Chain A
Amino acid sequence: MVAMFNPIYFVVAGLAAAFLLTLFHNRERLSYFIMIIALSLMMLISLAHLASFLAGTGEIVQVFTAGFAPPFSINFQMGPPEALLTAIVSLVGLLSGIYLSEQLRKTGAYAQAVYIVLVMGMNAMILTRDLFNLFVFLEIVSIATVGILFLSRSRTSVNTGFTYMVASGLISVVLLIGIVFAYMNAGSLNIDTLSESLVMAGRGGSIAVLLITLAFLLELKPFPANGWGIDLYTSAPGALSALISAGGMSATYYALAKVLPVGQWSHDSLVAAVGGITFIASQIIALKQDDSRRLLGYSSIGQIGLLLVVLGFSEALGDRRDFIAAGLLITHALSKSILFYISDMVQDDSLRGWAALRRKPVLLVLFGVAAFALIGFPPFPSFFAKWDLILLLNGGTEGYYLLSAMVLAGSLIEAVYLFRWFSYALKLPHEDLPELASPTSRLIAPVTAALVLAGASWYVSTLVSGFSQSFLIPVAFILLVAVIDRLPAWSKNVISIAGVSLYIADLYPRIAGDLMTMIFAGIFLVGAVLTLLSGFYYKGRRAGFYPMALTMFAGLAALIEAATILEFFWGWELMAIGSYFLLIRGKKSMPHGLSYLLFSIGGSYSILYGFSLAAAGAGGVIAMSSLVGISVMPALAYSLMLLGFLTKTASIGVHIWLPGAHGEAVADIHFMASAILLKAGVFGLITVLLAMGSEAGYTRWILLALGWIGVLSALLGNISAAFQESAKRLLAWSSIGQLGYIVWGLASMSHLGWLIALGYSVTHFLYKGILFLAIGGIALKIGTPYMYKMGGLIKRMPYSFFAVLIAIITLSGVPPLVGFSAKWITYNLIISEQLYYQGFVILIAGIIAFLYLFRMIYTVFLGQLKDNLRSVGEISIWFRIPMYLLLIVILVLSFLPNTLLRPIGDMLSGIFPEEAIVWTGSRGVTSLGYFDGAMIMYVIVGIFVILTILFLLLRKQTQKVKQFNIFYSGEAPSRPELSHFSYNFFAHYRKAVGALALPLVTGFWDRVTEIIHAVSDFIRRIYTGNGQTYLFHIVLYVVVVFLVQSGGYR
């Protein structure tokens, strides 16, 4: 069957159709129809071959033209890479053809003929194995590109066209000279024969090969010499840019891949270097772009740079190279074409103009899919490709550590400008933007591209070893929920809760034994059910909330169930996506959501780097056990992983995203993000610290640093919390403080320390849950999170007041409740582990927590009730149910602290053998001291009850009075607002200790971004806009590369 689809039909179909078209050029409808038929025929051929290869049955097809053997005639070869690339080229060609239908039809049959020849040329470039034939088809492609470029008929397209022509002319000169001299040395033009003949190693031969490689590199628009390329993307019609970046670039890239073996891989380091420079430079320049087309141009050139790096390191990547290159190429081709298609629909070219996408949600979803695919988030192929790339770069005999760091830095910068752009689209006003030109004919192209990308993602994930398919089930469930997004919120809520609880039921037997995962599974999944429960409060549709919330929970579940570090990383990134979309929902949350995402991406990249070193140490094995005892640069690996997880626990230094992101989040999202999301960081820290242990020498310094980070975050978090005006920001800062406490506990690497950390994680979940739900509910009801706008709510919401009171007492660690057990263990830890100085700061930070606790409960509940709050009812029942569930748990734990601490202690004794606490009933005894939770509770409650009864007996006539019956030195208070002391509550404290709450860290990160922007501004100056300068750059580039290569090492 495959014989019937002979690759030569690409050329035949293309040319026959082109020549036929010009015959009936006056009947547009017929000619356009023929064009579509030709394009779909080409796609059919490539898909047939691709299908046969994917099914594993196909073998490489050699096609001889003119009936003679290759060295004497031109031959086509259709192997797996060719099949894939021709499939991409023909697919994008067909989609762009449909997209450009009305322009092509208007310009006439000739343009359609040129378009068919363009797509045919690209396919032929991929297939041909003959150097000169490759040159001919390269010329066909560049001429046809210029022809189609003219379709946009604008002045810039004409000017760009001319420079493009001259530039490709120069490149063809270089290529021709290269081919001629290659022929003179080896006597043949066929690539395969040239590769075998060693004669190329001679001086002339090596220069010829250098010229050929250089020509193809120049065609791929390397950094200094790509002025002409950037203008092409900017002025060409969107669909053409899509075809160029997806089709043209892939074809030339594969041509280069075919040509490299000719010189016995002598120039692979050159290719890698050029690729690396192009990747980094174009990402940095793209930072400063505000024109969407130009930015996409830089980004696609950057992606090609990355592919060049992959090509350059072929022998380091070994057989995985094809998988990586294929993964990156598919994602790049499809997502770039999606973006280019959309760019043609948006009339306003500036980045902010894309906010108009919100008028058509389908396009916004497509934009999101493309952006996340480009950066390499799960489930897209680029995620697995980037994973393998970094692992192999660091894994080989001599790891290319600097290079992999550079690749990650580059993709981080790419994430910066892509997500900044995406958040513009999500959040900026779009009322005054021009209308979208998006008829259905134009929608087909991006939608099909996205569907193909999804299919490719599914297929790639089946290829990857160390990634079980069970992780895709939650993703499928999320897609299902996304599809039914039209339903009202409550129905989706029921479905999601059912889904999560089903997952818990299925998960429970698997992790029943291991308490550590059970704790975190409880926090993640039971917490999920609780937060979703509070979601019943919302009326209406609440578009996009449930899929994204479930993505986050799926990510968290994946963390728990991960058997290999790949699955762990998959869960981590999935969670980052979900949580970003939840946090971005707040009205003023755009800058904070963006900084959250960038910090989490930076964090996950440092985790990825750490994992790669771990995998390198374990010889490529990526089971979770490979994290234990890393042999390759262990100090760097562990500290990078810890840094990555610290960004998620928002410890000092990387915490600046949290106050804004959580401060602006909606009520239950705030609870989700803080009580659950931060614990993901803690779970990560635990996994790493368990793997690291504390025996090795370097661990002492890492743990010391980790401890001090935890301590400082506790201190500074609590102090800054005291000075916040918005209740939500206050709680956000307090989460930083609490997490600092947990990090310090973990850093002590002792039985007691981990007991505190785990105990705290659970109790933090409980009381922070109550606080977030209460404050969130009130902020929702009152409409503002600012505390000075509240006051006296105890009279309107007594139940919430009681819950918040209990939560506050637990948080501050005052005896009767469960918080005290953590404080007690802290003292034991400080003395037994001799962490005196850190311990002292932590204790003081614990005391400072009182400040913001009292401030919150006073300004919100006590004091004077304002007029507009007079008729406010209790917060919604859906907030109060989870609140009271958590309250009951806290009270039970307060009575019997051992129910929580004993099981954790027993489990920990497995890890830290020293037997720290001996529990008898609710009485814990350590070597230093003792405490009995139940007894304390009985005594205190007993005294309290007795005194209350005594006082009630003694009571005389008591007169209940209202809010203005206060001693106001004889005057009558005028308005409730004036006699409610809440704004700038700790002014005097700020005078004394305010220096500690200065935003120094934010200043530091601003400095960093300023530097990068300055560099970007400096580099991009070389594109002066003058065509001749670009030509001069090309010639200069040729000379420099020649001098470097020849002077270099020959």
Chain B
Amino acid sequence: MSWTLRILYALLTLFIVMNVGLLLNGVTRKIYARVNRRVGIRFYQPYIDLVKNYSLTNLVTHGVMFYLGPIFRLTSGVGLILFIPLIYGSQGFSNFSFSGDAVLILYFLFFGTLGMALGSGESGQPHSAIGVARGLAQVTAAEIPLVLSFLSVFIQYQSLSITEIVGAQQSGILQWTFFTNPLAGVTALLAFLGSMMRSPFDVVLAPQEIPIGPPTEYHGAFLGVLQTNRAIFPVAKTILYVNLFFGGAASWPALIPKAFLLYMWSVVVGTVFPRYRVDQSIRWFLKVPLALGLLSIVCIHFC
């Protein structure tokens, strides 16, 4: 594949994923509203908010690192989606996944977090520092089920490359990892909750308490960049989980519904459960998900 073609494919992927992301955000907030028996926002409201944020005329910047913070975040989102092979079989839509396997994706998640943390750190806003401290503390615990479940998948397929793992699950639904390695699947779902910053574990961006945590000082175009990332990043993670546990997809129409349903899992749980404090969430991760994860590895290891 020549480089120009590859870049075009990348732009196309980004366009699709961004739209899917914004729509998903809209639908999610619609679902939250419906649960409160409210009419809720128009499903295309995120588009409007995005345009409005980009259209604001003046910006206040606290320094170079503050300025580059959101860009780090967006690079991480965009990079993540480009490193994950989206469509099994199509060379184009697996974008730059040839440059690194699942480990690259696992560690690239932190690129954005670090960048964002440094950016909000330079703003001098104490609340953002508190938010970041909570976020980091919680992410170390949320990593436990994620690492365990991913590890047991890699062990099961004896491979780190996502395309290979997806390839092994193509022959029918029963071949999905979720069914061949159920324990890992369940742990992965719990881990998915932890990583999606939805309500049981969204103490980092706790509105009103520490005015939305790290992004307190961000506004206008900065906020726009963050929202674009907020569209791409969750979808990328969902696609990752879909690829690893739910057999990936041979085409976009197969991929998007799977991604949508998995995304809804965190939304539905989010609407029902109240927010955990940081140490409660850490302790929660150290109980059930840890046990399940270890069980899954033991099970893969021995049986």
Q: Direct A–B touching in the complex (beta carbon < 8 Å)? A: yes
Contacts of A850 in B (CB 8 A): 110, 113-114, 136, 139-140
Contacts of B37 in A (CB 8 A): none
Interface: B48 (CB within 8 A): no
Contact B79 A939 (CB under 8 A): yes
Contact A951 B114 (CB under 8 A): no
Complex Cα spacing A879 to B140, Å: 33
Interface: B174 (CB within 8 A): no
Contact B277 A988 (CB under 8 A): yes
Contacts of A847 in B (CB 8 A): 110, 139-140, 143, 147
Contacts of B121 in A (CB 8 A): 854, 857-858, 862-863
Task: Name which of A180-188, A341-349, A647-655, A820-828 contacts chain B.
Answer: A820-828
Task: Name which of A119-127, A297-305, A929-937, A1018-1026 contacts chain B.
Answer: A929-937
Interface: B22 (CB within 8 A): no
Q: How far is the CB of A493 from chain B (nearest CB, A)?
A: 35
Interface: B173 (CB within 8 A): no
Contacts of A935 in B (CB 8 A): 96, 98-100
Contacts of B114 in A (CB 8 A): 808-809, 812, 814, 850, 854
- Chain B 117-158 interface 0/1 with A at a Cβ cutoff of 8 Å (1 = within): 110011111100110111011011101100110010011001
Contacts of B125 in A (CB 8 A): 966-967
Q: How far is the CB of A841 from chain B (nearest CB, A)?
A: 10
| The residue from A837, A932, A957 contacting B98, defined by CB atoms under 8 A apart | A932
| The residue from B101, B161, B278 contacting A989, defined by CB atoms under 8 A apart | B278
Interface: B184 (CB within 8 A): no
Contact B79 A823 (CB under 8 A): no
- Chain B 153-188 interface 0/1 with A at a Cβ cutoff of 8 Å (1 = within): 011001111000000000000000000000000000
Interface: B86 (CB within 8 A): no
CB closest chain-B residue, reference A815: B108
Contacts of A986 in B (CB 8 A): 133, 137
Interface: B301 (CB within 8 A): yes
Contact A928 B148 (CB under 8 A): no
Contact B225 A951 (CB under 8 A): yes
When A814-B107, A839-B151 are in contact, do A954 and B71 touch as well, CB less than 8 Å? no
Contacts of A943 in B (CB 8 A): 75, 78-79, 82
Contact A992 B79 (CB under 8 A): no
When A836-B155, A989-B278 are in contact, do A960 and B61 touch as well, CB less than 8 Å? yes
Q: Which of B269-289 contact A (CB under 8 A)?
A: 277-279, 282-283, 286
Contacts of A960 in B (CB 8 A): 61, 63
Q: How far is the CB of B284 from chain A (nearest CB, A)?
A: 10
When A831-B158, A988-B277 are in contact, do A932 and B140 touch as well, CB less than 8 Å? no
Complex Cα spacing A992 to B277, Å: 11
Interface: B54 (CB within 8 A): yes
CB closest chain-B residue, reference A855: B133
Contacts of B291 in A (CB 8 A): none
Q: How far is the CB of B122 from chain A (nearest CB, A)?
A: 5
Contact B124 A979 (CB under 8 A): yes
When A939-B99, A967-B216 are in contact, do A989 and B160 touch as well, CB less than 8 Å? no
Complex Cα spacing A959 to B62, Å: 9
Interface: A843 (CB within 8 A): yes
Interface: A920 (CB within 8 A): no
Interface: B255 (CB within 8 A): no
Contact B134 A840 (CB under 8 A): no
When A930-B161, A988-B279, A989-B282 are in contact, do A792 and B100 touch as well, CB less than 8 Å? no
Contacts of B101 in A (CB 8 A): 928-931
Q: How far is the CB of B293 from chain A (nearest CB, A)?
A: 8
Contact A820 B104 (CB under 8 A): yes
Contact B279 A929 (CB under 8 A): no
Contact B59 A955 (CB under 8 A): yes
- Chain A 949-979 interface 0/1 with B at a Cβ cutoff of 8 Å (1 = within): 0010011111111011111010000000001
Contact B147 A843 (CB under 8 A): yes
Complex Cα spacing A967 to B102, Å: 40
When A815-B107, A834-B301, A951-B225 are in contact, do A794 and B65 touch as well, CB less than 8 Å? yes
Complex Cα spacing A40 to B79, Å: 86
Interface: B57 (CB within 8 A): yes
Complex Cα spacing A813 to B130, Å: 24
Contact A795 B63 (CB under 8 A): yes
Interface: B58 (CB within 8 A): yes
Q: How far is the CB of A927 from chain B (nearest CB, A)?
A: 8
Contact B99 A966 (CB under 8 A): no
Q: Which of B67-107 contact A (CB under 8 A)?
A: 67-68, 71-72, 74-75, 78-79, 82-83, 96, 98-104, 107
Contacts of B64 in A (CB 8 A): 798
Interface: B202 (CB within 8 A): no
| The residue from B78, B117, B282 contacting A858, defined by CB atoms under 8 A apart | B117
Among B67, B134, B216, B294, the one with the most A-chain Cβ atoms within 10 Å of its Cβ is B67
Contacts of A149 in B (CB 8 A): none
| The residue from A808, A809, A839, A929 contacting B103, defined by CB atoms under 8 A apart | A929
Contact B151 A836 (CB under 8 A): yes
Contacts of B139 in A (CB 8 A): 847, 850
Chain A binding surface, main DSSP class: helix
Q: How many residues of B contact A (CB 8 A)?
A: 79
Contact B82 A939 (CB under 8 A): yes
Task: Give the interface size class of chain A.
Answer: 35 or more
Contacts of B56 in A (CB 8 A): 956
| The residue from B57, B79, B132, B301 contacting A854, defined by CB atoms under 8 A apart | B132
Contact A957 B71 (CB under 8 A): no
Complex Cα spacing A824 to B117, Å: 24
Complex Cα spacing A792 to B225, Å: 25
Contacts of A843 in B (CB 8 A): 143, 147, 151
Contacts of B71 in A (CB 8 A): 944, 947-948, 951
Q: How far is the CB of B135 from chain A (nearest CB, A)?
A: 10
Q: Which of B244-303 contact A (CB under 8 A)?
A: 277-279, 282-283, 286, 294, 297, 301
| The residue from B107, B136, B297 contacting A813, defined by CB atoms under 8 A apart | B107
Contacts of A989 in B (CB 8 A): 133, 137, 278-279, 282
Interface: A851 (CB within 8 A): yes
Q: How far is the CB of B57 from chain A (nearest CB, A)?
A: 5
Contacts of B96 in A (CB 8 A): 935, 939
| The residue from B58, B100, B134 contacting A932, defined by CB atoms under 8 A apart | B100
Contact A958 B118 (CB under 8 A): no
Q: Which of A385-402 contact B (CB under 8 A)?
A: none
Q: How far is the CB of A25 from chain B (nearest CB, A)?
A: 86
Q: How far is the CB of B159 from chain A (nearest CB, A)?
A: 6
Complex Cα spacing A794 to B99, Å: 34
Interface: A844 (CB within 8 A): yes
| The residue from B75, B107, B221 contacting A823, defined by CB atoms under 8 A apart | B107
Contacts of A963 in B (CB 8 A): 62, 124
Interface: A848 (CB within 8 A): yes
Contacts of A173 in B (CB 8 A): none
Interface: A993 (CB within 8 A): yes
| The residue from A809, A928, A965 contacting B158, defined by CB atoms under 8 A apart | A928
Contacts of B148 in A (CB 8 A): 840
Interface: B1 (CB within 8 A): no
Contact B59 A992 (CB under 8 A): no
Contacts of B108 in A (CB 8 A): 814-815
Contact B61 A928 (CB under 8 A): no
CB closest chain-B residue, reference A989: B137
Interface: B111 (CB within 8 A): yes
Closest 10 CB pairs of A and B: A929-B160, A862-B121, A935-B99, A929-B101, A992-B279, A992-B282, A989-B137, A988-B278, A981-B129, A981-B126
Spell out A's residues near B (CB within 8 Å). Answer: 792, 794-795, 798, 801, 805, 808-809, 812-816, 820, 823-824, 827-828, 830-831, 834, 836-837, 839-840, 843-844, 847-848, 850-851, 854-855, 857-858, 862-864, 928-932, 935-936, 939-940, 943-944, 947-948, 951, 954-961, 963-967, 969, 979-982, 985-986, 988-989, 991-993
Further contacts, 4 of them, CB under 8 A, given A809-B114, A863-B124? A815-B107, A862-B122, A940-B111, A958-B67
Can you list 7 A-B contacts with CB-CB less than 8 angstroms, sorted by A residue number?
A814-B107, A830-B151, A837-B297, A863-B121, A929-B159, A930-B100, A954-B221
